[in-house]
Amino acid sequence: MVVIFDSYMGMFLPEDIATRISEFMAGNNSFPFIEKDETMATFYLFGMIKGVVGDNELETTLDLARKTTQRASGYITILANNCNKLTADFIRHDYTKRALQISLEVQNERLCDLSQLNKRIAMDPTILSACFAQHIAYYNQDYFFELLGPFNEKQIPKSLLCKLQGRMLLLGYNAANAKALPFENTLLPFLDWIKKVG
């Protein structure tokens, strides 16, 4: 499997981000729904199914990570220069438009349970990427990305070997650098989160 199709994106801080997005989309809270002093963190897991294998896949992953960070930075700049795109109504409209696309995509799947559909919408990579960028632009925050891996058995807890060994991980935070974070290193909060979610 090509690494570009064997990747996954999510947001692990704040831990209740799916609930916050759902509440925002339902009109129960407004934008911003993440406080300025809260740590936000996204992840891109490359080689999710079988790992990043060989030099070609490593080069592809490095290129994909570089393009991902460039795309995120470009979107943050666009948002920072256009405050009309940072209103609650505009953002809610964008999220709702994406939710409709997802609803159409799953019509033919067996995903008929409304709670499952709502969870899928709230954890959608497009919505999560936008959420991360929108809050950074709104608060005019610094941010950085760090690419880690491929992980070996000495770098990760034994309980996570099947999920992370051989994989590469791109982490993004709303801080100037790793020293500005309240963690010993950038990987620890991700490992804590992935242990909790199974």
For residue 193, what are the contacts with CB-CB under 8 A and spacing of at least 6?
A: 12, 13, 15
80-88 average pLDDT score: 95
173, 88 Cβ separation under 8 angstroms: no
Q: Work out the percent of the chain whose per-residue pLDDT is above 70.
A: 95
Position 2 scores a pLDDT of 57
- Among the residue ranges 59-73, 95-109, 129-143, the one predicted with the least confidence is 95-109
**Whether the Cβ atoms of residue 87 and residue 138 lie closer than 8 Å to each other:** no
Q: pLDDT exceeding 90 applies to what percent of the chain?
A: 83
Distance CA 133, CA 184 (A): 24
Model pLDDT, residue 110:
64
pLDDT at 119 over 90: no
The reported pLDDT for the residue numbered 104 is: 86
Q: List the beta strands (DSSP E) in 95-198.
A: 144-148, 168-173
Residue 120 identity (one-letter amino acid): R
For residue 108, pLDDT beyond 90: no
pLDDT tier at 198 (50, 70, 90 boundaries)?
confident
Residue 102 and residue 11: Cα distance in Å, rounded? 18
Position 117 scores a pLDDT of 85
pLDDT mean over 63-86: 96
Is residue 197 packed enough to be buried (19+ CB in 10 Å), middle (13-18) or exposed (0-12)? exposed
Is residue 40 within 8 A of residue 13, CB to CB? The reply is: yes
Residue 182 has pLDDT above 90, yes or no: yes
Task: With a cut of 60, say whether residue 148 has pLDDT above it.
Answer: yes
Residue 55 has pLDDT above 60, yes or no: yes
Q: What is the mean pLDDT of the chain?
A: 93
Judge if pTM exceeds 0.75: yes
| Domain boundaries of the chain, sorted by first residue | 3-197
Contact 98, 131 (CB under 8 A): no
Sheet hosting strand 144-148, strand order edge to edge? 7-13, 41-46, 168-173, 144-148
Residue 179 has pLDDT above 80, yes or no: yes
Q: Which residues are CB-contacts of 196 (< 8 A; sequence separation ≥ 6)?
A: 15
pLDDT class for 109, splitting at 50, 70, 90?
low
Residue 112 has a pLDDT of 58
